[in-house]
């Protein structure tokens, strides 16, 4: 029997116990032995839970117990999750996690520490909930250069945008439902202001390009400025507004950012709705591949945590090749002004103004979407060139969205 400990018995922690119980036989067949939860670390008691007698409140008990070979950290937040992860790795225990905040902020040193202690640090559940994306990037796509990764990386905001578009729901009401379903972060500001997606895109950028960028240094815009009018406008233009995390190389530098995009219906990401995530990877040999599935929620996310547990416990004799990331230096980061794409601008004005905008942006794609408002779609241009064109038009845009082609 192999003994593990669960840190944090919230949505994902309790889901992990459920997956381990529900699929016990299958997991045992993979690992060659039974996997048993010896401890659950939490501040609370769970007297009604079948594993309620495993609850402890002191991390030292877990660290000192040589029977515990693996720790599954699902506490959320940076502290004390980071310190507990360090201590567990130093104690020679494998660690798996769903905690994107810790991976995005401390991934470089924790991977290094795991290597030094000849244990694993795996984090499949940190991006895309239950969707396999971390392992495919490391293994199945290893023969490719990754050109770009773009995706819907936050289930809560996608759920909100979908409800606004399909049911005309109010932002606050849709958020409440997402919270009740266990999709949102403890502080949902991290979801709606884009920080959760920022943590995830820097993890994906690190897997693609080898450098881990501090998520606080990339351009991040959430969905708090998006209204029902904007989602209806996107519908009229033949697409949808989606919160997108995007990373690519610009020259020899790495660009990563999060913002609302207009996604035309021709892009499959446009049809990724509700709590689902969709991640488009563009690789130089494979071309484009779409990873799609439940991006948040108890059992989907827990299934990815348990996949990491199985991966480690079924290969214990082998030494794992963990990614060797470096912290990104300032000079390795692309200037956001150089990011090139098509853009949609929304203006208030008359046909004369529309004519001016068409000349300034060098486009014929211009349509009146409602009384007194027209939308212009630019050709592919760098952000700084688009800004110069806007200034030359002499117009004030009421909305600008990059286009995800
Ligand atoms: N709050 C996150 C989301 C949870 O909504 O995507 C999964 O990481």
Q: What is the pLDDT of residues 219-238, one digit of tens each?
A: 999 999 999 999 999 999 99
Examine residue 333 and state whether it is found in any structural domain, yes or no.
Answer: no
Catalytic positions:
200
Asked if residue 11 belongs to a domain, the reply is yes
pLDDT tens digits for range 1-55? 999 999 999 999 999 999 999 999 999 999 999 999 999 999 999 999 999 999 9
Question: Do residues 288 and 320 share a domain?
Answer: no
Residue linked to tokens 């381990």: 20
Q: What is the model's pLDDT at position 370? A: 82
Distance 355 CA to ligand 1 centre (A): 43
- Model's pTM, two decimal places? 0.98
* Average predicted confidence (pLDDT) for the chain: 97
Please report how the helices 298-313 and 24-31 are oriented relative to each other, as an axis angle in degrees rounded to 10. Answer: 30
pLDDT at 320: 85
CB contact at 8 A, 240 and 166? no
Domain annotation covers residue 209:
yes
- My answer on whether 287 and 157 are in the same domain is yes
Q: Is the link from the previous residue into 80 a cis peptide, with omega within 30 of 0? A: yes
Q: In ligand 1, which atom is closest to the CA atom of 154?
A: 6
Q: CA-CA distance, 289 to 280, in Å (whole number)?
A: 6
Give the per-residue pLDDT at 379.
98
Give the count of domains, the chain: 3
Convert the pLDDT of each residue in 235-275 to its tens digit.
Answer: 999 999 999 999 999 999 999 999 999 999 999 999 999 99
Residues 274, 216, single domain; the answer is yes
Taking the C-alpha atoms of residue 151 and residue 102, their distance in angstroms, rounded to an integer, is 21
| CATH number of 38's domain | 3.40.50.720
Same domain, 195 and 93: no
Encoding tokens for residue 159?
Answer: 């759920």
Asked whether residue 287 falls in the same domain as residue 220, the answer is yes
Q: How far does the centroid of ligand 1 lie from the alpha carbon of residue 297, in Å?
A: 8
Q: Is residue 135 part of a domain?
A: no
Beta bridge partners of 37: 4
Residues having CB closer than 6 A to ligand 1 are 129, 154-156, 183-185, 191, 196, 295-296
Same domain, 117 and 152: no
User: Which residue range(s) make up the domain with 244?
Assistant: 140-294
**Residue closest by Cα to atom 4 of ligand 1:** 296
Kindly report the protein residue whose alpha carbon is nearest to atom 1 of ligand 1.
184
Please give the number of the atom of ligand 1 that sits closest to the Cα of 156: 5
């Amino acid at each position: 029997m192999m003994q593990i400990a669960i840190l944090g018995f919230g949505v994902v922690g309790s889901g992990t116990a459920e997956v381990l119980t529900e699929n016990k036989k299958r997991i045992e067949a993979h690992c060659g032995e039974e996997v048993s939860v010896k401890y659950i670390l939490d501040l609370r008691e769970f007297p009604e839970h079948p594993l309620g007698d495993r609850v402890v409140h002191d991390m030292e008990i877990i660290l000192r117990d040589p029977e515990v070979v693996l720790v599954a950290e699902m506490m959320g937040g940076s502290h004390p999750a980071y310190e507990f992860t360090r201590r567990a790795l130093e104690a020679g225990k494998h660690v798996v996690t769903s905690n994107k905040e810790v991976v995005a902020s401390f991934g470089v040193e924790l991977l290094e520490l795991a290597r030094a202690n000849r244990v694993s640090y795996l984090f499949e559940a940190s991006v895309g909930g239950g969707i396999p994306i971390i392992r495919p990037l490391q293994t199945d796509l290893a023969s490719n250069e990754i050109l770009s990764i773009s995706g819907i990386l936050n289930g809560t905001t996608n759920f909100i945008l979908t409800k606004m578009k399909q049911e005309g729901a109010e932002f606050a009401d849709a958020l409440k439902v997402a919270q009740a379903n266990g999709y949102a972060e403890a502080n949902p500001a991290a979801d709606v202001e884009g920080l959760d997606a920022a943590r995830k895109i820097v993890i994906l950028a690190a897997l693609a390009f080898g450098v881990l960028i501090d998520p606080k240094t990339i351009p991040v815009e959430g969905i708090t400025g998006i209204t029902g009018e904007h989602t209806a406008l996107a519908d009229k233009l033949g697409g949808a507004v989606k919160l997108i995390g995007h990373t690519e190389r610009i020259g020899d530098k790495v660009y990563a950012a999060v913002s609302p995009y207009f996604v035309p219906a021709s892009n499959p990401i446009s049809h990724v709705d509700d709590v689902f995530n969709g991640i488009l990877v563009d690789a130089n040999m494979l071309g484009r591949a779409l990873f799609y599935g439940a991006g948040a929620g108890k059992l989907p996310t827990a299934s990815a945590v348990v996949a990491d547990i199985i991966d480690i416990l079924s290969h214990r004799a082998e030494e794992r090749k963990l990614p060797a990331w470096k912290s990104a230096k300032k000079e390795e980061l692309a200037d956001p002004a150089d990011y090139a794409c098509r853009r949609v601008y929304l203006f208030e004005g008359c046909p004369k103004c529309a004519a001016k905008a068409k000349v300034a942006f060098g486009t014929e794609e211009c349509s009146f979407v409602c009384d007194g408002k027209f939308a212009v779609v630019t050709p592919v241009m760098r952000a700084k060139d688009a800004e110069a064109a806007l200034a030359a038009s002499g117009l004030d845009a009421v909305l600008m969205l990059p286009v995800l082609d």
